[in-house]
Structure 1
Amino acid sequence: MNFFFEVLIGGLLSGVMYALVAIGFVLIYKASGVFNFAQGAMVFFAALTCVGIIDKFGVSIWLAIPLTIVVMIALGLAIERIVLRPLVNQPEITLFMATIGLAFFIEGLAQLLWGSQVHKLDLPIDDVPIPFLLDNYNIIVSQFDVTAAGICAVLVTALALLFSKTKVGRALRAVADDHQAALAVGIPLQQIWAVVWAVAGLVALVAGLLWGARNGVQFALTFIALKALPVLILGGFTSVPGAIVGGLIIGASEKLAEVYIGPMVGGGIEGWFPYVLALLFLLVRPEGLFGEKIIRRI
């Protein structure tokens, strides 16, 4: 039983980090109604920029992080001004194709600026078992995972409150429903998009630092975003709470499946089980647990 709880807790902690990546998708989708294919590239760009500043200029991580925040905000604002603003009121497929182009551009820019080699990122968090759980319950849970999950939980909670309790959040929901109507009632569409993309850049930075410290800062970080797809399908593309719940479900289920089902079907189940779960969920509730049902009148 102790081993079960060890696997479950580990999965839930990973799920919180998946939820953070999914939040970046939710923010952009709520603002523009389009899936942001470039979110994974932004995670990679943020992590690589941070370690690049540390390596190139010899500064501490405490200085590199604020500098990277400035860079990510500037990147988000530039994306809104140069790419999205000219595409206001264009079909959603046009915006989606624009984010695909952005993904390749951001990936290339990151490697052009800082190189393509794998970097090690050391955060001041020890990756050691928590003594209390190990000594009293014989459960191995990493202190790094708990701290990372705590950071993600604080950020996700702050974002949920920001977009559900503030004027910006109400404007965001109006923009997501209808760009033209939002403009007609005086909502500054460009400003809302700028804020959302800047916040998405900050989310990408936190996700990039945590996943980069765990797996190394490398191009593979771009694929972390793919793990957010099942999270979004389960939770709903428009719901911040849904991203949290979906992340916890995906994180826990993939770990439990790897340990208890993996030996019966072969290794690697952790990589594809979340997508099978999401596919089955689509058949039952396509809009997700917290997503809004789309009703079309004809």
Structure 2
Amino acid sequence: MAFFLEALFGGLMAGMLYSLVALGFVLIFKASGVFNFAQGAMVLFAALAMARFAEWVPQWIGIDNRVLANVIAFVLAGALMWVVAWLIERLVLRHLVNQEGVTLLMATLGITYFLDGLGQTLFGSNIYAINVGMPKDPVFLFESTFQGGVLVNLEDVYAACIAALLVATLSLFFQKTSTGRALRAVADDHQAAQSIGIPLNRIWVIVWFVAGITALVAGIIWGSKLGVQFSLTTLALRALPVVILGGLTSVPGAIIGGLIIGVGEKLSEVYIGPFVGGGIEIWFAYVLALVFLLFRPQGLFGEKIIDRV
């Protein structure tokens, strides 16, 4: 039982981090109706900014306090993501209003390669460490209940709590604020939203900034675990099945989809992998996503789109 709980907890923690990356896809799709291929590049760019600012800030202002340096670095990285969001709207999106979805899709591909190159030009292409003080040593829980206890990585627990807090905040933002309702209106129909006075350009800047902050938090967490390196862009590929499973338009769907896939990957690798030679964790999520595309393409919580002609 303890072994099962270890795998279950590990899957839940990984799933919450997948949800955090998938959230960026959902935010952009809800506001523009286009799948944002640049989300992985935004994670890498934001993580590079955080890592390098945390290294440079003590040199710039002469402080030895790591916590203060990390806070200042986070603020600077967040401000940089706001500038990126503003530039994307000003230079790209405002010229593509009411264009076909494939046009916007290709635009996000261009943004992907631009951010990849710009990040490495500004901050370097080495592997950088992010140290925000999260404990890395595993601990044993429930020792009085199970013999030997349940081994849990505290860093994963902290990361999952941070991700859950951000997801809950964004859910409230979408449901309870006027800006959140405006975002949903823009996603439904650009022209109709403009006709009732919703400033489309400002809304796009806001949603890309929120997606950038989400990418920054994801980049910090994954960078703390794995180091900031080019492979962080592949997180977008890991989050694709989560988006398909949960639904492209659902913030709760991104959460549930991430948890299902995280737990499914871990349990299938532990209990089925030994019988088939292992490697299930690599392809499990994509096979599950393919099944959903065949039988429920809108996902668990996505909106079913019906075109009447």
TM-score higher than 0.5: yes
Question: In the TM superposition, what is the alpha-carbon distance from 1:32 to its structure 2 partner?
Answer: 0.3
- TM-score, length-scaled by structure 1: 0.97
Structure 1 segment 218-233 matched on structure 2, within 5 A:
218-233=229-244
Structure 1 segment 193-232 matched on structure 2, within 5 A:
193-232=204-243
Distance 1:237 1:211, change over 3 A: same
Match of 2:196 among 179, 185, 192: 185
Counterpart of 2:124 in structure 1 is 115
1:71 aligns with 2:71: no
1:20 aligns with 2:20: yes
Counterpart of 1:12 in structure 2: which amino acid?
L
Counterpart of 1:244 in structure 2 is 255
CA distance in structure 1 between the partners assigned to 2:132 and 2:279 by the alignment: 29
CA distance in structure 2 between the partners assigned to 1:127 and 1:62 by the alignment: 20
Counterpart of 1:178 in structure 2: which amino acid?
D
> Residues 74-112 of structure 1, C-alpha deviation per residue, up to 9 Å, x if partnerless?
111211111111111111111100000000000000111
CA distance in structure 1 between the partners assigned to 2:45 and 2:282 by the alignment: 24
CA distance in structure 1 between the partners assigned to 2:41 and 2:4 by the alignment: 35
> Residues 119-159 of structure 1, C-alpha deviation per residue, up to 9 Å, x if partnerless?
12222011122344456531111111111100000100000
Contact 1:19 1:246 (C-alpha < 8 Å) held by counterparts: yes
Contact 1:19 1:243 (C-alpha < 8 Å) held by counterparts: yes
Counterpart of 1:54 in structure 2 is 54
1:102 aligns with 2:103: no
Contact 2:140 2:150 (C-alpha < 8 Å) held by counterparts: no
Structure 1 segment 131-150 matched on structure 2, within 5 A:
131-133=140-142, 136-137=145-146, 138-150=149-161
SS at match of 1:34: coil
Contact 1:134 1:140 (C-alpha < 8 Å) held by counterparts: no
CA distance in structure 1 between the partners assigned to 2:145 and 2:155 by the alignment: 19
Match of 2:276 among 265, 273, 283: 265
Contact 2:31 2:183 (C-alpha < 8 Å) held by counterparts: yes
SS at match of 1:140: strand
- Counting matched residue pairs gives 298
Contact 2:57 2:72 (C-alpha < 8 Å) held by counterparts: no
| Superposition misfits of 4+ residues, deviation over 4 angstroms | none
Q: 5+ unaligned residues in a row in structure 2: which ranges?
A: 60-68
Match of 1:89 among 74, 84, 98: 98
Question: In the TM superposition, what is the alpha-carbon distance from 1:50 to its structure 2 partner?
Answer: 1.0
- Give identity over the alignment, percent: 58
CA distance in structure 1 between the partners assigned to 2:91 and 2:165 by the alignment: 32
Structure 1 segment 131-170 matched on structure 2, within 5 A:
131-133=140-142, 136-137=145-146, 138-170=149-181
